[in-house]
Amino acid sequence: MSRQTGFFPYSGKLKDRVGYYRKNKKGEKEWWTRQAAEHVRRTAATKRAATDFGTACRCSRLVRHALRPWLQYYGYHFDHNRLNKAFINLVKADTAHKTGFKLPTHQNMQSLRGFHFNTVKTTHDFLTGTPVITNENGNRTAVLLPGIHISNAKRYKGITHITVKAIALPFNFRQNTTAAVASETITIKRNNAPQPITLTLPASKEQTLIMLEIQCGYEINGSIVISPKKETAAIDIIAVLPARKTPKVKTNKTPQLRIIPLCCQTVKKHQSRRRVSVYPLKE
């Protein structure tokens, strides 16, 4: 295995070489190259396992791309391999389907609760209790927070305000559609006593991931500037809501019989003695 030191690093296969990068302990990218294999032998079981692996990675990619506007702040503190591993574990936990056809079911998706995108900080370090999620008339989803409090540690020196928001991500891996929606941003002063907070999100018919983001900032010339320290911010998955089932309207699809055939017509008493031939007589 050789290390690349040129000015033009590349990722992927180039003739008989494969270029890739990995991060060191400082979070910096290091580029490496290796020899590409001439022949790859895969059995049927290996192909089925690779299909499940691809399903998990595709689901992870949908979540990462939908949350890209919020994850850019955390930089290398968000390791996408952790999210891939979480989806791989929940896809493998599907016992209703055979290998190669496994899916991320709603029951297994509950394992994503508590997943933190920032490895340095979590939202539980700021909250004074557990968040509660309720549904308001089927149109709104309310996230109830008991209160937010930060300690007097050195990393919070100069922090004057705290911003809180909730993010809803309807997740449909079959159609490859995701559309993240953020709630209103609530700003709280640091010296205030912890007070309950309510964040509202539009409800969705699809399976929905609920994220909570808490960031610390300081006031400069009347505006709030978010602190660049990763120890003062967190974004976690706090709930996975199931898909809402729309009630089916039962309709009678049998066509109406407008013409009554002769065999079904009622025969009067004075006509019962007559013999009526249904079939025409041949001349």
pLDDT tens, residue by residue, 123-154 = 999 998 899 999 877 788 999 998 888 888 88
How many CB atoms are located within 10 Å of the residue 202 CB? Answer: 12
> If you ran DSSP here, which 8-state letter would residue 101 be given?
S
Res 179: pLDDT: 85
Mean pLDDT over 92-99 rounds to 92
Res 258: pLDDT: 59
Strand order through the sheet with 12-14: 2-3, 29-35, 17-23, 12-14
What own/partner pairs with CB < 8 Å and gap ≥ 24 does 24-27 have? 27/75, 27/76, 27/77
Q: Which segments of 75-135 does DSSP mark as H helices, in order?
A: 80-92, 106-109
Round the average pLDDT of the chain to a whole number and report it.
Answer: 83
Provide CB contacts within 8 A for 50, sequence distance 6+.
42
Which residue has tokens 């290398």?
A: 76
pLDDT at 273 over 60: no
For the entire predicted model, the pTM comes to 0.73
Percentage of residues in the chain having pLDDT higher than 90: 38
What is the rounded CA–CA span in Å between residue 76 and residue 160? 26
Residues 167/180, Cβ–Cβ less than 8 Å: yes
Res 220: pLDDT: 87
| Helix-helix angle 44-66:80-92, to 10 degrees | 130
Query: How many C-alpha atoms does 267 have within 13 Å on its Cβ side?
Result: 12
pLDDT at 15 over 60: yes
Q: Nearest to residue 162, comparing CAs of 68, 247, 232?
A: 232
What is the rounded CA–CA span in Å between residue 281 and residue 232? 98
Res 222: pLDDT: 82
Q: Where are the domains of the chain?
A: 2-35, 44-241
Backbone angles phi, psi at 161, to 5 degrees: -140, 160
pLDDT at 243 over 90: no
Residue type (1 letter), 138: G
pLDDT at 193 over 90: no
What is the rounded CA–CA span in Å between residue 273 and residue 226? 100
Q: How far apart are the first and last CA of the chain?
A: 99
